[in-house]
């Protein structure tokens, strides 16, 4: 169950009981709801409706260090872990990308 009111047309079935965001079950992984260029500027186009796994993922752990899952996702796109010395953005909804 994705939760969060995800538009069903952006999902595909994992099994009879669960779904996943389109684009996340094949390599290279690229969620259909992701706008922008990875490594430059990206934004979730359904942020307020994003599924529960996305709501639960935090880029930083409780100690202000890069979260392990976030770092793995970045590594899949040849990006290094986030750098805490560059500042930890405040929690909350990020700004949308400029058109
Ligand atoms: S947060 Fe990322 S993975 Fe989740 S729905 Fe938005 S673009 Fe897709």
First to last CA, the chain: 32
Distance, CA of 80 to chain centre: 16
pLDDT tens for the 99 residues of the chain, in order: 454 599 999 999 999 999 999 999 998 889 999 999 998 999 999 999 999 999 999 888 888 899 999 999 999 889 999 998 887 666 666 666 666
Predicted pLDDT of residue 45 = 96
- In this prediction the pTM is 0.81
What distance in Å separates the CA atoms of residue 77 and residue 38, rounded to the nearest whole number? 8
Q: What gap in Å lies between CA 99 and CA 96, rounded to an integer?
A: 9
CA of residue 85 to ligand 1 center, whole Å = 25
pLDDT score of 88: 67
Cβ of 6 closer than 6 Å to ligand 1, yes or no, is no
What's residue 33's pLDDT? 97
Asked whether 54 lines ligand 1 (CB < 6 A), one says yes
Ligand 1 centre from 31 Cα, in Å? 6
User: Measured between alpha carbons, how far is 34 from 50 in angstroms, rounded to an integer?
Assistant: 11
Closest to 39 measured CA to CA, from 82, 10, 69, 68: 82
User: What residues does each domain of the chain span?
Assistant: 8-82
Q: What is the structure's pLDDT at 3?
A: 47
């Amino acid at each position: 169950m994705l939760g969060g009111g995800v538009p069903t047309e952006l999902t595909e079935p994992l099994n009879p009981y669960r779904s996943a965001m389109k684009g996340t079950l094949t390599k290279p992984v690229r969620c259909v709801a992701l706008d922008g260029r990875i490594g430059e500027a990206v934004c979730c186009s359904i942020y307020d409706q994003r599924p529960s796994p996305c709501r639960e993922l935090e880029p930083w752990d409780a100690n202000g260090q890069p979260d392990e899952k976030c770092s793995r996702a970045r590594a899949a796109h040849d990006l290094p872990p986030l750098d805490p010395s560059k500042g930890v953005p405040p929690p909350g909804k990020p700004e949308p990308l400029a058109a």
